[in-house]
A and B are shown apart, each in its own frame.
Chain A
């Protein structure tokens, strides 16, 4: 069990939490818990209901997708201060679209998804801040994914090239 002091201290290390008004901070503190996972331990699997929105404090969490014939393909790793499981707050997606697994022993903040959505519904000011934050996360992931998709390091076949 994490103590409130431990939680508060952990939340205060996260930059976007530092910018919250005291009231909003306390509301999120109220739905937060500390999770500790070992290497290779699953956080969640594809298809799971989203239960928590995570922020990594220490360690590394791999985002993976299971591709038949290729096994688990690692498409992203979340580092300290990264958000994992942003789909928790979006109304459209209701299931995890990828798996999350610890690569290194990790410590995370977990915000209860259902309670978070309720908080946002009831307090649009907080809701706006959370959604804006998530929009940034998704935008950043989209950029990374596009750069990965471009496959800039691939080896094209060159015919007729001189050098």
Chain B
């Protein structure tokens, strides 16, 4: 038997997941230099009501005539009025997206991907380690935990960015802290006006006293950061099947059909992007796999 995930794609239309559905840009919110959240409303209100995603999933956003890009959904899964996609404006498609305005239409295909195992880890201490553009796919986890706060133990967000200006969603940190989520932030480099930490995300583990038996780690960010976060988590005896990473690869179809996103035998778009470390272990440190 093939051992990879065979779950039915719970896409907008399971029957035509290659078809983009039109959505209007309701708001474009700048989050950091070169990074904005696009808040979308499906033109079809029925679709808006029935669109369900889980934390860690992504949509393929289509700009007809130009192309598509896989964008993490960064909004609250329980808020149905609109869906937020945090985009780093980098390549042809995302730069074209950067030229668009509220009211313009984009196509949406999705949601795709294996989500963060939030519900499966009720009762645990949750350590969320994010770097740079790795925070958007984790923000829905924070929202979901906030709505069921008593179901989880200690919840800590370790977040790092290049400079203080690059910290995303900074305006929300206070609300998260108010929900008893520790928010520990660091930047690579700063000037004298910054009173926070300067360093890198993995060393935030040095100063974290954690109970490895009770802890689960969710991490997303540049792959080199993931390697060291995993290293630190393992060094603190968190079991490898309680460490979850989210990977990024070139994606075209989002369904596991076009072949592009493979890492070893896995299709990142459907067996991932969230993987448990023990599943990924044989392939994770192989250079250029």
Contact = CB atoms under 8 A, between A and B. Distances in A.
A129 to B, nearest CB: 20
Interface residues of B, number: 43
A62 interface: yes
Contacts of B194: 74
Interface stretch (A6-14, A26-34, A118-126, A148-156): A148-156
Given A72-B191, A73-B191, A79-B207, A162 B197 contact: no
B253 interface: no
Interface in A135-163: 140, 143-144, 147-148, 150-155, 158, 160-163
Interface residues of A, number: 34
Contacts of A160: 92
B93 A163 contact: yes
A60 interface: yes
Contacts of B161: 153
Given A147-B225, A152-B224, A153-B161, A161 B91 contact: yes
Contact of B189 (A75, A103, A152): A75
A74 B190 contact: yes
Contacts of A155: 33-34, 88, 90
B264 interface: no
Contact of B198 (A77, A140, A151, A163): A77
B203 interface: yes
Interface stretch (B39-47, B66-74, B114-122, B145-153): B66-74
Given A81-B207, A140-B203, A155-B90, A150 B198 contact: no
A50 interface: no
A68 interface: no
A163 B97 CA distance: 10
Contact of B224 (A62, A150, A154): A150
Contacts of A62: 198
B92 A161 contact: yes
7 closest A-B pairs by CB: A161-B91, A163-B69, A153-B162, A152-B222, A153-B132, A74-B190, A147-B200
20 contacts: A73-B189, A74-B189, A74-B191, A74-B194, A74-B198, A76-B198, A77-B196, A79-B197, A79-B207, A148-B199, A151-B162, A152-B132, A152-B221, A152-B222, A153-B160, A153-B162, A154-B162, A162-B67, A163-B69, A163-B94
Given A155-B88, A163-B68, 5 more contacts: A60-B197, A75-B198, A143-B203, A152-B222, A153-B166
